[in-house]
Amino acid sequence: MKRIFMLLTTAILLASCGDAKPKKAEEATQEETKVEAKAEETKSEEATQEAAKTEATDEKVAEEVALEITGDDAMKFDKNELRVKAGQKVTLTLKHVGKSPKDQMGHNWVLLKKGTDLAGFATKAMAAKDKDYIPSEDDIIAHTKLLGGGESDSVTFVAPEKGEYDYLCSFPGHYAMMKGKLIVE
């Protein structure tokens, strides 16, 4: 009787051992699947990062743009329209291609914030001779220095949101002739 009981116990132990084995194997398989899944995840993550990097590089190419505009002794800009893309880093160079001195035929390039009244700004600018006709920076996105004939100056700014923005020369009396639009696409 005792012996039979022992055998039974052994059998049960063996049986449970036998049960345990496939379970462990199953777990191992699941573990493997998990690891594989994780590897896949890492791979696709890497791919995403790679794609993002490529995109960033592509964007960088178009991220910066250089513009040039001239002003002359006939009180004219050579362009009344400039185009950029929103968020682009813009470097604008103004060249005074005339010969007249700054106090007679001074030119600057002043880009106004959206909604700023051009004539109102120009009137305020007239009274700001001591600041080279830049009355305050509040209405301005960017501006160059005031130039005389033969001089040039560059200004760098980030193109604002899509829309149309007025630019002008704020030297007294010039804005009627010397104005244009920066179109942000």
Q: Supply the minimum distance, in Å, between the C-beta of residue 103 and Zn ion.
A: 11
- Residue with the CB atom nearest Zn ion in the bound state: 169
Q: Supply the minimum distance, in Å, between the C-beta of residue 63 and Zn ion.
A: 31
Q: Contact at 8 Å (CB) between 120 and 168?
A: no
Which range in 22-30, 45-53, 88-96, 166-174 contacts Zn ion by CB under 5 A? 166-174
Pairs from 156-159 (Cβ < 8 Å, separation ≥ 24)? 156/89, 156/90, 156/91, 156/92, 157/89, 157/90, 157/92, 157/111, 158/87, 158/88, 158/89, 158/90, 159/84, 159/85, 159/86, 159/87, 159/88, 159/89, 159/90, 159/184
Which range in 2-10, 52-60, 99-107, 113-121 contacts Zn ion by CB under 5 A? 99-107
- For Zn ion, the binding residue among 107, 112, 141, 155 (CB under 5 A) is 107
Q: Does residue number 174 form part of the binding site for Zn ion (CB under 5 A)?
A: yes
Q: Supply the minimum distance, in Å, between the C-beta of residue 105 and Zn ion.
A: 7
Q: Does residue number 179 form part of the binding site for Zn ion (CB under 5 A)?
A: no
- For Zn ion, the binding residue among 134, 169, 182, 184 (CB under 5 A) is 169
Q: Which residues contact 150 (CB under 8 A, 6 or more apart)?
A: 96, 97, 98, 99
Q: Supply the minimum distance, in Å, between the C-beta of residue 52 and Zn ion.
A: 45
- For Zn ion, the binding residue among 171, 175, 179, 180 (CB under 5 A) is 171
Which element (helix H / strand E) includes 116? none
Q: Does residue number 96 form part of the binding site for Zn ion (CB under 5 A)?
A: no
Report angle CA 29, 30, 36 to the nearest 5 degrees: 90
Query: In terms of Cα–Cα distance, which of 167, 171, 172 is closest to 155?
Result: 167
Write out the residues near Zn ion by the rule CB under 5 A: 107, 169, 171, 174
